[in-house]
Amino acid sequence: MAQAKVCLVIGAGDATGGAVARRFAREGYTVCATRRSLDKLQPLLADIRATGGIAHGFGSDARKEDEVIALVEHIETQIGPIEVLVFNIGANSPSSILTETARRYTKMWEMACLAGFLTGREVAKRMVARPAPGVDAASGQGVAHKGSIIFTGATASLRGSAHFAGFSGGKMALRALAQSMARELWPLGIHVAHTIIDGAIDTEFIRTLFPDRYALKAQDGILNPDHIADAYWMLHQQPRDAWTHELDLRPYMEKF
Q: H helices within the chain, ranges in order?
A: 16-26, 42-50, 65-74, 102-109, 115-129, 165-185, 204-209, 211-214, 225-237
Q: Residue 153: inside a domain, yes or no?
A: yes
Q: Quote the pTM value.
A: 0.93
Alpha carbon distances (Å) from 47 to 41, 50, 84, 93, 225: 10, 5, 20, 29, 15
The fraction of the chain above a pLDDT of 70, given in percent, is 95
Q: How far apart are CA 225 and CA 188, in angstroms?
A: 31
**pLDDT grade, residue 85 (50/70/90)?**
very high
Rounded to the nearest integer, the mean pLDDT of the chain is: 93
Q: Residue 140: inside a domain, yes or no?
A: no
Burial 193-204 (b: 16+ CB within 10 A, else e): bbbbbbbbbbbe
**pLDDT grade, residue 72 (50/70/90)?**
very high
Domain count, the chain: 1
Residue 195: pLDDT over 80:
yes
Which DSSP string do the residues of 121-190 spell out, in sequence order? HHHHHHHHHSPP-EE-TTT--EE---EEEEEEEEGGGT-PPTT-HHHHHHHHHHHHHHHHHHHHHGGGTE
Of all helices (H) and strands (E), which one includes residue 215? none
Q: Residue 166: inside a domain, yes or no?
A: yes
Q: Residue 135: inside a domain, yes or no?
A: no
Domain enclosing residue 164, as ranges: 6-93+100-130+146-249
Q: How far apart are CA 178 and CA 58, in angstroms?
A: 24
Q: What is the CATH number of the domain that holds 39?
A: 3.40.50.720
Q: What's the pLDDT at 134? A: 59
Q: Residue 178: inside a domain, yes or no?
A: yes
Q: Residue 108: inside a domain, yes or no?
A: yes
Q: Residue 40: inside a domain, yes or no?
A: yes
pLDDT tens digit sequence for 108-150:
999 999 999 999 999 999 999 998 765 555 555 556 789 999 9
Q: Residue 194: inside a domain, yes or no?
A: yes
